[in-house]
């Protein structure tokens, strides 16, 4: 019934490869210290701090490939794909043996929809890391994904392009476009904002969806720059189709306002509120739950939760997002998202846009 954000496990693998070993000879001891801080920030999930730290280190030691790799990884985590590509290419120009940087660059190309480029690079990575089965699995998955996309057809609407597999799915694709258009006007109206470009949507069979997105079994859709939804089962019912597509389109619009620094409860809560007008499921779920995690806990990712905990997490997030929209209005929430995307501190942005502290807002929930 829900979607989720896709995270890069390779980014973390790269940190383990590079970040924990002893630093190689440094041209500048200060740059060496900054590098350690940069990797620590990446591990802690503080992408902005990591970006700032690697940038400062590069000024001191501009020929150090690992620093450019770190800067590229931080940019990738912040979804600044063009910056990530430039930094990783620089890292590889300085040290062509830096396999982790090549693996990360392949991830950037894939996210930019350059499947062939990503696969070619990753074939080199597999040759350089022959003992790593996860790397081989990733390459095989990407190849299946590209083959599937090559087979797919395209339905183009005003605001969306929908890819689907066989002619028998064309009817479903046009229903999906209609549902997406309804969601578009309704959700854009709430925020007073519109996505700047056409949103790509891919309709998969259920099996392809799990394979390509590696979503947990409870996910009914995913958004990673492309809206991805399994067609069979849930989507055979009209209402479910509307709900899932509205949820994932809400993520697309939220992402166009803020590419980074969003607490998960806010991102998922808004998407859950905007998927339909009926929040009785969330009220019932929270009322029945033995304990409900705080919004501070729900700022972290939901992807590892089991189905039951995930439902409580989504329900609590949805009720908080509903309260926020009722209290401050969609335009103020859109401004909060924009501030977070620009790197403004959460508490400061919250007070400015919502007109009271986050602690006060949290305390008011459920009263
Ligand atoms: Zn979602």
**Is residue 133 scored above 80 in pLDDT?**
yes
Q: Does the pLDDT value for residue 69 go beyond 70?
A: yes
- Alpha carbon of 279 to ligand 1 centroid (Å): 15
CA distance 1 to 264: 17
Determine the distance separating the centroid of ligand 1 and the alpha carbon of 363, expressed in angstroms.
25
**Segments of the chain assigned to CATH 1.25.40.10:** 2-149
Residues pairing with 204 in the sheet:
230
Between the CA of 130 and the centroid of ligand 1 the distance, in Å, is 36
Instruction: Report the separation in Å between the CA atom of 269 and the middle of ligand 1, taken as the mean of its atom positions.
Output: 8
Right CATH for 152-255 from 3.40.605.10, 3.20.19.10, 3.30.1330.80, 3.40.30.160: 3.40.30.160
CA of 271 to the centre of ligand 1 (A): 6
Q: Is the pLDDT of residue 68 over 50?
A: yes
For 106-137, give one letter per residue: b (16+ CB within 10 A) or e. Answer: bbbbbbeeebeebbebbeebbeebeebeebee
Å from CA of 265 to ligand 1 middle? 10
pLDDT, tens digit, 9 for 90 and up, residues 330-366: 999 999 999 999 889 999 999 999 999 999 999 998 7
CA 353, chain centre distance (Å): 24
What distance in angstroms lies between residue 247's CA and the mean position of ligand 1's atoms? 6
**CA 45 to chain CA centroid, nearest Å:** 13
Q: How many CB atoms lie within 10 A of CB 318?
A: 26
pTM confidence score:
0.74
Ligand 1 center to residue 270 CA distance, Å? 9
Q: What percent of the chain has pLDDT over 70?
A: 91
Mean pLDDT of the chain: 87
Backbone angles phi, psi at 330, to 5 degrees: -65, -35
Find out whether 142 and 115 touch, Cβ atoms under 8 Å. yes
255: CA distance to ligand 1 center in Å? 12
Q: What's the CATH number of domain 2-149, 2.60.40.10, 1.25.40.10, 1.10.760.10, 1.20.1290.10?
A: 1.25.40.10
Residue from 74, 60, 71 nearest 26 by CA: 60
């Amino acid at each position: 019934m829900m979607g989720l954000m896709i995270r890069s496990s390779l980014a973390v693998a790269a940190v383990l490869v590079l970040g924990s070993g002893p630093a190689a000879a440094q041209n500048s001891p200060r740059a060496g210290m900054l590098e350690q801080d940069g990797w620590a920030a990446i591990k802690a999930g503080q992408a902005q701090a990591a970006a700032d730290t690697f940038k400062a280190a590069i000024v001191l030691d501009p020929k150090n490939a690992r620093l450019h790799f770190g800067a590229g990884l931080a940019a990738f985590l912040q979804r600044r794909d063009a910056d990530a590509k430039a930094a990783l290419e620089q890292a590889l120009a300085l040290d062509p043996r830096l396999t982790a940087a090549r693996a990360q660059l392949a991830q950037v190309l894939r996210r930019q929809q350059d499947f062939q480029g990503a696969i070619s690079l990753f074939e080199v990575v597999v040759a350089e890391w022959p003992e790593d089965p996860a790397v081989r699995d990733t390459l095989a998955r990407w190849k299946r994904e590209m083959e599937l996309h090559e087979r797919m057809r395209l339905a183009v609407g005003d605001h969306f392009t929908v890819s689907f597999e066989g002619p028998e799915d064309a009817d479903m694709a046009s229903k999906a476009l209609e549902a997406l258009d309804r969601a578009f006007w309704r959700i854009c109206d709430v925020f007073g904002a519109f996505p700047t470009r056409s949103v790509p949507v891919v309709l998969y069979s259920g099996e392809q969806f799990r394979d390509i997105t590696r979503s947990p079994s409870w996910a009914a859709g995913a958004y990673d720059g492309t809206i991805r939804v399994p067609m069979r089962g849930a989507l055979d019912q009209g209402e479910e189709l509307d709900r899932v597509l509205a949820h994932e389109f809400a993520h697309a619009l939220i992402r166009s306002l803020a590419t980074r620094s969003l607490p998960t409860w806010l991102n998922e809560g808004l998407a859950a509120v905007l998927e339909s007008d009926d929040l009785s499921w969330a009220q019932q779920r929270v009322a029945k739950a033995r304990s409900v995690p705080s919004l501070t806990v729900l700022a972290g990712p939901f992807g590892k939760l089991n189905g039951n905990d995930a439902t409580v997490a989504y329900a609590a997030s949805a009720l908080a997002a509903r309260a926020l929209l009722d209290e401050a209005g969609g335009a103020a929430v859109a401004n909060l998202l924009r501030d977070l995307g620009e790197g403004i501190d959460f508490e400061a942005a919250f007070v400015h846009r919502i007109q009271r502290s986050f602690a006060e807002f949290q305390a008011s929930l459920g009263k």
